Amino acid sequence: MASEVDHIPLAVLDWIPYVDVSGQLPAQFQGQVGVYAIFDEGQILQYVGYSRDVFFSLKQHLVRQPLQCHWVKVRTIARPDRTLLETIKTQWISENGATPVGNSPEGIAWTEAIAVTAYMTAEEQAAYAGAIDELAQAKLLKQVARRIEAEIMTTLQARGVQTEIRFNPKLKESGLLDLKSG
């Protein structure tokens, strides 16, 4: 068996469907520490990351980029080791020959909570600008967040996703959408 410091090229790892035929994400990575590479439908590398819970991170990326998450390759390790995880991530990006879009400076859509203000309609922007106080603004942000959440859920349902997706309700009033952990 290879030690954790042995390099395992991305190319030799198995392709795992992001969403299997029963609509589930790869649950075998729940609570697993590891490095993962996300690919689009054409198996073009979109993002390389690492996490203390690969499964939860995969759910977050699916919510943030539902049309770009079709395949994944994962390498788990026994215990958290940031240096090792960073080394594997760097090696995989190097093997790719180009920085994936999700790892570029413009790739914050892969790593940050969804800021719903960027998706406001002209009417919502006008209502937000004309709100009488912060409470009215928070209420509007929550409405926009719910609309964006519904759009994301519709996209995920169209992809056949059956894995439970729960957004953090406390973030909506501040105009953010992200998953509820735990």
**What is the CATH classification number for the domain harbouring 55?**
3.40.1440.10
pLDDT of residue 1: 37
- Distance, in Å, from the CA atom of 47 to the CA atom of 73, rounded to the nearest integer, reads 11
Residues 75 and 40 both lie in one domain: yes
pLDDT of residue 7: 78
Contacts with 42 (C-beta within 8 Å, 6 or more apart), sequence order: none
- Distance, in Å, from the CA atom of 66 to the CA atom of 2, rounded to the nearest integer, reads 34
Number of domains in the chain: 2
Domain end, chosen from 103, 129, 160, is at 103
Residues 98 and 121 both lie in one domain: no
Residues 160 and 92 both lie in one domain: no
pLDDT of residue 5: 56
pLDDT of residue 20: 96
- Distance, in Å, from the CA atom of 129 to the CA atom of 121, rounded to the nearest integer, reads 12
pLDDT of residue 164: 93
What does each of the 182 residues of the chain score in pLDDT, given as a tens digit?
Answer: 344 456 789 999 999 999 999 999 999 999 999 999 999 999 999 999 999 999 999 999 999 999 999 999 999 999 889 999 999 999 999 999 999 999 999 899 999 999 999 999 999 999 999 989 999 999 999 999 999 999 999 999 999 999 999 999 999 989 999 998 76
Specify the DSSP class assigned to residue 179. Answer: B
Domain holding 21, by residue range, is: 10-103
Domain end, chosen from 43, 76, 103, is at 103
Residues 94 and 18 both lie in one domain: yes
